Structure 1
């Protein structure tokens, strides 16, 4: 395989009949100059730019997409091409959407956390080959698991075998006190364990790694990320804290259905829900610095040997996602194959947001893509593949048509989902029992409360809340932004899934 270095990119540009000054693009520093050079890149590569633009606009119009789509091609020296599309832009209206728009990267955070762990290991602050007992002796699973056989590396590559629903839901959805001691207590009391050492993907490993990092360094995972990754790479618009940003500038997820149109719009994460498996907000401009550092294995962050471990599979997996055949996992990247190339990916998704980041190490090229319409979660991957195939001189248009079939199927499935409508909203006149009040879990989960607003009711669970709707079976449901939750109430007992809550008597 040839490298997609400057010579290959030049060949690609010659293929479409135009040569562009790539060195200027790669050397410019200020955001204004970067924007100018990106415009010039687009203008000097009209065939690719026009085809890409036509394809994404065609999909937006045909599927009546809502929300945003952001895309970038990145080389070893930085951003090469970008595109931002939403309905306002398509219609020629002003929009805040651009390369500096804050976007949530969801589970791609795991790649950042794995890299941070390697950085701290090089600095002698943590040893990935030491066991949990060295850093978190209080995490003992009531002595039912031999924690001396679970190493920090196992946490990062998902071979630790442990899982906790309570820990996962508190950190991702419901919130908690913010104290690691609470999470460790939850884990000690609510866990599953598979001793086989097989790859089992979950949020748990990186989250426990972050707690171990705090124990070893005395600093939070969030502070360590800023000090050792964001600042060295000059990612000044990247953060692990929602409160660092103007909330209304964060690109929200959009939930849409064929029957009712836009159901929900918003970004429901808060600081307490930003964790080491899904807790980074960044921009295309900043992420291009991160991705290019991975592509060139920049010694600003790590040695070549550490980069190799980050980018090389150390555990097998046999899974497929869309067109990517995943064969292994490193300390934060899925090792996959696409069109004969080894490709490293680590995607993310939450409540409509779909985030794609990938690169082909041998060809020194990578893609960043983001969409926020829940029905179009395959779209970032579809368009990434199109760009890769154009750059690799594959039959890009033919492959695109084949892969679009899978996109269409996924879109149609999501579009057909049924959501509660206004006629199902639970109003004061329709409730047959006094459901207002506070409910406590019988097993240590965050409290639930139900209160009235105007003529309807609000379901509050941890830090999330949403309107209550009636279901056909006489029970209730609520869209909490990050998730939908069904529940029933009989007398003073509220049941949601397998969880039992008892109403507090006033």
Structure 2
């Protein structure tokens, strides 16, 4: 009887430690320890948002060893006191922060004796041979995860991130075998390639997709019920979109430029603040629900060196998915992500056992999540938060102004439908298996569709055409049946 009484209490305590729930007690504890945090933080964000006449969303959270401790959301609706769908359960795209999940997945598979991160690429993916120009027996799976493998493929990177592809991993492996660059130095060179190939290795040895493995080994154990590697698991209007904005013209473009095929092991997760708090708490606690302590240590310890500065962070190393850096003399692990207007920040200070999640989607404010993460840390750590923010805001102001002044084509330059312009209509194919380009009419204008992306066609000042595809802009020229975009040649 005594055991039956104690069991629910024990289960509740375990759930709270794993972050499956957000105990009110944890928020109350944070508020008690940092009584002026909410007022100072919220006022500062509102001031900046109003000063810059921002659009879109900003959402922020503090996470400690017990889970979510504080959160705050802001957009134009909230600022006006109106109802908004932005909250801790709103789906957001986390972009390259996916890499820390993929590194953890591969470490889980190693701990389960499914693979060995020190074994070679040749052993697991013999078909990936780079035209026999690279000795893939010298590339370990660990090298793929920490960006020291030295390989890069433009076509594979563009297809997985932007354009899509139709023939699965076989097509991507063929692209890498025929279109690649190689740096044999073994130095850290960041790109999407390594984690995507590591995801292919995971698929090869398990017979399951990277997406299914993420759900099985990370999302489900941590009860991240609103997290997925598929866009189609959500109503598209519920996912916070990118905003391309200028002060002069307001919102230029708005949309989520991702589909299931472009959700990949380097940038392919949609989640929520509540779910991400569970993930971050698991890292802070080195939760043995996923891994033992030794495996966590490798995930959080530098496996290669780097010497780079990003905003205020001096990065000195990279683990299997996290940048190792310093901020205000504290060790900090960060993994940022961006796409079009979306900017995502997740980080934690292991010695302080505290972390931060921040997201914005106004393209001009891509430094805002990092700046406000710093402000949050400095308030928590009793630093001169306002003085430091005033210094750091200089870089933010410059970047915001630069983005605000970008000139985008307007509808006065749109290519209007007429018999003469109809000459560009058609389907264009590339001999090197880049995705097809289709040009077709839509209402009174023309559409340039490249793979899964599409946008209106404009006349440009170079005697050709341009199209804003949301996540990127593309110039092109057409002569008879030949379309040229950059160095790529297409035939109708």
Q: TM-score, normalised by structure 1?
A: 0.92
**Match of residue 448 from structure 1:** 437
| 2:415 is the alignment partner of 1:426 | yes
**Match of residue 138 from structure 1:** 127
User: Which stretch of structure 1 is more off in the superposition, 470-479 or 122-131?
Assistant: 470-479
**Match of residue 157 from structure 2:** 168
The answer as to whether partners of 2:241 and 2:255 remain within 8 angstroms in 1 is: yes
| Other structure's SS at 2:36 match | helix
**Match of residue 74 from structure 1:** 63
1:334/1:401 CA distance change after superposition, 3 Å:
same
- Unmatched tracts of structure 2, length 5 or more: 1-12
| 2:362 is the alignment partner of 1:391 | no
**Match of residue 227 from structure 1:** 216
1:30/1:162 CA distance change after superposition, 3 Å:
closer
From 467, 477, 481, the equivalent of 1:478 is 467
Indicate the RMSD between aligned Cα atoms, in angstroms. Answer: 2.0
Distance 2:109 2:33 in 1: 43
* 1:80 shift after superposition: 0.4
Show CA shifts across 1:121-156 (max 9, x none). 000111100001111111111111101001100000
Pairing 1:58-97 to 2, within 5 Å after superposition? 58-97=47-86
The answer as to whether partners of 1:28 and 1:34 remain within 8 angstroms in 2 is: no
1:30/1:158 CA distance change after superposition, 3 Å:
closer
Show CA shifts across 1:240-278 (max 9, x none). 011111111101110001332100111121100100000
Distance 2:487 2:20 in 1: 54
* 1:77 shift after superposition: 1.4
1:39/1:479 CA distance change after superposition, 3 Å:
farther
**Match of residue 258 from structure 1:** 247
1:29/1:125 CA distance change after superposition, 3 Å:
closer
* 1:433 shift after superposition: 6.2
* 1:429 shift after superposition: 3.6
1:157/1:433 CA distance change after superposition, 3 Å:
same
The answer as to whether partners of 2:63 and 2:277 remain within 8 angstroms in 1 is: yes
| 2:437 is the alignment partner of 1:437 | no
Show CA shifts across 1:69-100 (max 9, x none). 01000001100000010010010110100000
- Unmatched tracts of structure 1, length 5 or more: 1-22
**Match of residue 288 from structure 1:** 277
| Other structure's SS at 1:110 match | helix
1:37/1:123 CA distance change after superposition, 3 Å:
closer
Distance 1:42 1:490 in 2: 66
1:30/1:359 CA distance change after superposition, 3 Å:
closer
* 1:492 shift after superposition: 1.4
1:191/1:102 CA distance change after superposition, 3 Å:
same
Distance 2:384 2:420 in 1: 60
Distance 2:18 2:121 in 1: 45
Show CA shifts across 1:199-218 (max 9, x none). 00000000000111111011
Distance 2:332 2:419 in 1: 55
1:41/1:281 CA distance change after superposition, 3 Å:
same
Show CA shifts across 1:452-490 (max 9, x none). 111100001001111001112221111112211111112
* 1:298 shift after superposition: 0.6
From 114, 137, 146, the equivalent of 1:125 is 114
From 354, 359, 367, the equivalent of 1:378 is 367
Pairing 1:243-322 to 2, within 5 Å after superposition? 243-322=232-311
1:43/1:390 CA distance change after superposition, 3 Å:
closer
1:40/1:326 CA distance change after superposition, 3 Å:
closer
User: Which stretch of structure 1 is more off in the superposition, 421-430 or 87-96?
Assistant: 421-430
